[in-house]
């Protein structure tokens, strides 16, 4: 097939900001994904296909991308990255340690996502980073924390062509937010080509270091209605569409020119409880809920056993994940006994907000039915529009004291790392994307110790301890991971999901 044939992609959004250090870029699904096509990172998790032919990640082993190699010092208080040589930007500038350094300086200067990630990795200040030589950079850590390389797999802090930016920065915009938000200055396989109200186009970086980019032009068009997008895909107006649902599969199968790629995500579905709402402030009530939810029934009936059981907020793929730490298996008798001993012995009624997601409302129906058997009445609140949920959160605070959370777009957290997971949602200084409260001083104390316990078995044992403490609180009830589906024409190969760039266009090619 002609490699010059453009790849036509159906998308849900058309972003106007392409900078993940700005909320408008980080929070937009496509904007963040495109950033991943523009900006290669130093390292990334290895990808593989499992026995079901599902695309997965190996977070225990990282690929070198813009780094040639990396290592910790003997005392684990420094982490070195050898920068790959002969890597050039679209403007012909070579990647050096200075390019990496400025990305981290920018992250600390903007004080947004990148700075938060840096401190999770025990890079406390920008001054803790130093250039050893043109192609070697050193990160001095405040603790012997093994998380830094994994945290680097996301797109913030990122790696920019500082030589191309130098003449464009000024006192009013020293970090180039207006420039980087509107153009691309990375070392990735694509560059931004054009943006309109309902479309984004990108083109191949002709001097990409890794290989010749096969698909030269990619055209993304926003289709607001999901069913309309499916119809357009089936009718041949698009070549690929991420985010198809189980309910779409029968319709897609009517077109023999289409196939569906399955991706096992480190996003997942779970119940999030706010322990400062009565009677959820009573741990016995939360434990009763945990024992009363028929997780295996959900996995079997709603997901046809295609998903995997979750046992912890630490992701399945994450180093340190331990399935033995979840203490509440389905046991209706235990649930009834715990509730009878609680502050709500006769049950209670609560609103139950359900995120939009594949099978979420159907799973919520099973949960509502199960809890009704022990006297708990949940009223489902749901919306097909995740932006409406975000707006409600910002404007009104709590939508409901019980939520069924998960990823609406397959992404989930951008890295599978316990420090990231726990601090993101439950630690002190957490992101607070949701107005749910959580206060457990023992958990906070042990979480603060994690960066200092060292590498290897000591670290694994401490992560297990954190999972035990957090799971015992039953403020989140893990259910299962999610399968993210990408429909595409059979002539397109190389489709799979990556953590920060769901569609790695640079690896795709026409058959």
Whether 3 has a pLDDT exceeding 80, the answer reads no
In the predicted model, what is the mean pLDDT of residues 359-367?
A: 95
Mean pLDDT, residues 282-296 taken together = 98
pLDDT tens-digit map of 27-37: 666 776 788 88
Say yes or no to pLDDT of 117 above 60.
yes
Domain boundaries, the chain: 1-39+188-257+490-511, 41-49+61-179, 266-482
| CATH for the stretch 266-482 | 3.10.105.10
pLDDT value of residue 197 = 87
Handedness of CA 388, 31, 62, 80 (dihedral sign): negative
Q: Tell me: the pLDDT tens digits for 211-257?
A: 889 999 999 999 999 999 999 999 999 999 988 888 899 999 999 99
Which 3 state secondary structure label does DSSP give 6? coil
Q: How far is residue 399's CA from residue 402's CA, in Å, rounded to a whole number?
A: 9
pLDDT at 193 over 60: yes
The SS3 assignment for 354 reads: strand
Confidence of residue 496 (pLDDT cuts 50, 70, 90): confident
Q: What is the pLDDT at residue 48? A: 84
Backbone angles phi, psi at 462, to 5 degrees: -75, -35
Q: Higher model confidence: residue 284 or residue 47?
A: 284
Percentage of residues of the chain with pLDDT beyond 90 = 67
Q: Hey, do 1-39+188-257+490-511 and 41-49+61-179 end up sharing a CATH topology, with the first three levels equal?
A: no
pLDDT over 60 at 432, yes or no: no
- Mean pLDDT, rounded, for 31-60: 86
Average pLDDT over residues 167-195: 91
Long-range contacts of 459-466 (CB under 8 A, 24+ apart): 459/146, 459/320, 460/319, 460/320, 463/314, 463/319, 463/320, 463/322, 463/418, 464/320, 464/322, 464/325, 466/314, 466/418, 466/422
CATH architecture of 41-49+61-179: Alpha-Beta Complex (3.90)
- Assign 3-class secondary structure to 321-335: CCHHHCCCCCCHHHH
Contact 272, 385 (CB under 8 A): no
Q: C-alpha distances in angstroms, 61 versus 28, 66, 150, 318, 452? A: 28, 16, 9, 11, 22
Q: Where residue 17 falls among pLDDT bands split at 50, 70, 90? A: confident
In this predicted structure, the answer to whether residue 413 has a pLDDT above a threshold of 70 is no
Strand segments (E) across 276-413: 348-354, 376-382, 402-405
Residue-wise pLDDT tens digits, 341-350: 999 999 999 9
Fold for 1-39+188-257+490-511, please state it: D-Maltodextrin-Binding Protein; domain 2 (3.40.190)
Cβ-contact 473, 262 below 8 angstroms: no
Residue-level pLDDT at 259: 95
Beta bridge partners of 268: 481
For the residues 397-403, what does the mean pLDDT come to?
A: 81
54: left (phi over 0), alpha (psi -120 to 50) or beta: beta
**In terms of Cα–Cα distance, which of 316, 269, 323, 335 is closest to 477?**
269
pLDDT in tens, 365-391: 999 999 999 999 999 998 665 555 555
- How many C-beta atoms lie closer than 10 Å to residue 61's C-beta? 9
């Amino acid at each position: 097939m002609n490699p010059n044939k453009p790849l036509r992609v159906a998308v849900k959004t058309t972003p106007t900001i392409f900078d993940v250090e700005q909320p408008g870029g980080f929070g937009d699904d496509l904007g963040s994904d495109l950033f991943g096509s523009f900006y290669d990172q130093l390292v990334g998790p290895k990808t593989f296909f499992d026995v079901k032919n599902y695309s997965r990640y190996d977070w225990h082993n990282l690929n070198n991308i813009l780094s040639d190699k990396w290592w910790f010092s003997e005392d684990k208080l420094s982490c070195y990255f050898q920068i790959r040589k002969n890597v050039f930007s679209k403007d012909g500038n070579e990647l050096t340690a200075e390019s990496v350094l400025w990305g981290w300086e920018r992250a600390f200067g903007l004080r947004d996502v990148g700075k938060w990630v840096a401190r999770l990795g025990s890079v406390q200040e920008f001054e803790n980073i130093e250039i050893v030589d043109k192609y070697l950079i050193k990160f001095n850590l405040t603790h012997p924390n093994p998380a830094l390389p994994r945290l680097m797999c996301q797109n913030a802090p990122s790696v920019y062509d500082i030589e191309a930016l130098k003449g464009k920065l000024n006192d009013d915009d020293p970090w180039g937010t207006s420039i980087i938000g509107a153009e691309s200055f990375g070392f990735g396989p694509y560059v931004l080509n054009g943006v309109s109200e309902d479309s984004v186009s990108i083109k191949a970086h002709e001097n990409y270091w890794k290989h010749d980019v096969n698909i030269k032009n990619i055209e993304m068009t926003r289709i607001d209605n999901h069913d309309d997008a499916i119809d357009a895909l089936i009718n041949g107006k698009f070549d690929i569409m991420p985010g198809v649902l189980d309910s779409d599969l029968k319709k897609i199968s009517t077109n023999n020119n289409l196939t569906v790629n399955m991706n096992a995500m480190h996003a997942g579905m779970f119940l999030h409880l706010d322990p400062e709402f009565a009677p959820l402030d009573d741990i016995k009530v939360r434990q009763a809920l945990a024992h009363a939810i028929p997780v295996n029934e959900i996995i079997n009936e709603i997901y046809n056993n295609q998903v995997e059981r979750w046992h912890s907020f630490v992701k399945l793929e994450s180093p340190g994940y331990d399935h033995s730490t979840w203490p509440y298996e389905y046991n209706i008798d235990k649930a009834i006994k715990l509730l009878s001993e609680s502050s709500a012995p006769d049950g209670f009624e609560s609103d139950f907000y359900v995120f939009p997601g594949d099978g979420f409302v159907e799973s919520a129906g099973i949960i509502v039915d199960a809890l009704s058997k022990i006297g708990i009445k949940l009223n489902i609140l749901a919306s097909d529009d995740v932006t409406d949920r975000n707006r409600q959160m910002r404007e009104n605070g709590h939508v409901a004291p019980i939520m069924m959370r998960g990823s609406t777009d397959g992404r989930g957290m951008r890295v599978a790392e316990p420090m990231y997971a726990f601090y993101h949602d439950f630690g002190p200084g957490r992101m607070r994307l949701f107005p749910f409260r959580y206060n457990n001083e023992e958990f906070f104390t042990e979480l603060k110790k994690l960066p200092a316990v060292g590498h290897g078995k000591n670290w694994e044992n401490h992560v297990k301890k954190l999972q035990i403490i957090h799971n015992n609180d039953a403020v989140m009830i893990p259910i299962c991971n999610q399968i993210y589906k990408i429909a595409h024409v059979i002539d397109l190969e190389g489709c799979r999901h990556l953590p920060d760039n769901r569609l790695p266009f640079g690896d795709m090619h026409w058959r």
